[in-house]
Amino acid sequence: MQLQDTPIDTPPRDAASVVLLREGASGPQVLLLRRHAQSAVLGGAYVFPGGKLERGDSSPATQARLDAPVAALHAALGEAALTPDMAAGLFVAALREAFEESGVLLATQTGRPLDAAMRQHALAAIRAGTPFDALLAQHDWQLDTRALAPWSRWITPRRPAMMNRRFDTRFFLAAVPDAQEAQHDDHEVTEARWLKPRTALAQYRDGQIDLAPPQIISLMHLLSFASVAAALADARTRPPPLVEPHTVQHGAERVMCYPGDPQYPVTAPALISPTRLVWRDERFQPPEGFGPWID
């Protein structure tokens, strides 16, 4: 993965991403999807399911399928500049992208969990091009927005860039239902891995996988929680913090600063993680290395 210094002058696109968690034998595991190597956005990197907001996500027909009032979803995001419809659309986008990319569907039918056969049929349909809102109407689904805990908001910096687009991404936490298994589409996503946060960071440090800074900082934050329930409970206690990385140059090293860093205008840390990452040896890493955090 390479950095480019040419600034990206286009405005960021609204997007949503879901950090899907499950309980492992020794603590939480997180789902990481490997984007196709030829993808224009973080090709080859391991990411959380997610993508840009689409027009249908905020349509009246789709929002009629929500399990919570639009006003409540708007309040949960804590962004006064958003319209209520757009805020609710971001919840829909998160659920839709999770289904499209990982096969995990957080929804019910007449108040009951979806059976595996119906989910598989719907997954094949959506991957064949059937619109998400059409599936919702066809199967009379209700989207489980209450399963999503708004977690953080990241705005891609203009520079340095790891891709040629910018995003304003709202990250959510969610627990995967026990009956569901992740299934990558082998098109946009070529691999799905359930990893402990510590394992994922160690694999990144050792060059086995590629991660972008939002994933690195998010995984480091998750190191603090002994269970999925604890991580979700923490997310529900506070409004999602805004993370808009600032870049500074220290000698030959490029440094990405985050809230709480001495060179960042917001003094309160956004997450339980380092307040800066250094680009060193073709890797983003804490100034002291990953060792103190994961060894």
CATH code, domain with 100 = 3.90.79.10
158 found inside a domain = yes
Give the model's pLDDT for residue 37.
Answer: 63
Q: Give the amino acid at 33.
A: L
Give the model's pLDDT for residue 116.
Answer: 86
Give the model's pLDDT for residue 171.
Answer: 98
Does 233 or 114 have the greater pLDDT score? 233
Helix axes 132-139, 116-127, angle to 10 degrees: 150
271 found inside a domain = no
User: How much is the CA Rg of the chain, to the nearest whole Å?
Assistant: 19
What does the alpha-carbon distance between residue 205 and residue 291 come to, in Å, rounded to a whole number?
Answer: 9
Dihedral sign, CA of 244, 238, 31, 204? positive
Give the model's pLDDT for residue 262.
Answer: 94
Digit-coded pLDDT (tens) for 274-295? 999 999 988 999 999 999 999 8
Strand-strand pairing, 46-47 and 107-109: unpaired
279 found inside a domain = no
Digit-coded pLDDT (tens) for 220-242? 999 999 999 999 999 999 999 99
Digit-coded pLDDT (tens) for 23-60? 999 999 999 999 876 665 666 789 999 999 999 999 99
3-class state of residue 170 by DSSP = strand
Could you tell me how many residues make up the chain?
A: 295
Digit-coded pLDDT (tens) for 121-176? 899 999 899 999 999 998 899 999 999 999 999 998 876 555 567 899 999 999 99
Q: Which of 7, 118, 136, 125 is nearest to 62 (CA)?
A: 136
Q: Which of 100, 120, 281, 294 is nearest to 216 (CA)?
A: 294
User: Does position 250 have pLDDT exceeding 90, yes or no?
Assistant: no
Please name the residues in contact with 247: beta carbons below 8 A apart, sequence gap of 6 or more. Answer: 157, 159, 160, 254, 255, 256, 257
3-class state of residue 63 by DSSP = helix
Q: What is the pTM of this model?
A: 0.93
User: Does position 248 have pLDDT exceeding 90, yes or no?
Assistant: no
243: pLDDT confidence band, cut at 50, 70 and 90?
very high
Task: Answer for the pair 216, 201: CB distance below 8 angstroms, yes or no.
Answer: yes
293 found inside a domain = no
Task: Answer for the pair 174, 260: CB distance below 8 angstroms, yes or no.
Answer: no
185: pLDDT confidence band, cut at 50, 70 and 90?
confident
**Domain membership of residue 213 as a residue range:** 13-237
37 found inside a domain = yes
Measured CA to CA in angstroms, residue 6 lies from 72, 106, 159, 199, 280 at distances of 40, 39, 7, 33, 19
211: pLDDT confidence band, cut at 50, 70 and 90?
very high
Helices (H) and strands (E) in the chain, counts: 9, 15
Domain count, the chain: 1
Task: Answer for the pair 86, 56: CB distance below 8 angstroms, yes or no.
Answer: no
Digit-coded pLDDT (tens) for 255-277? 999 999 999 999 999 999 999 99
Give the model's pLDDT for residue 7.
Answer: 60
256 found inside a domain = no
Give the model's pLDDT for residue 3.
Answer: 53
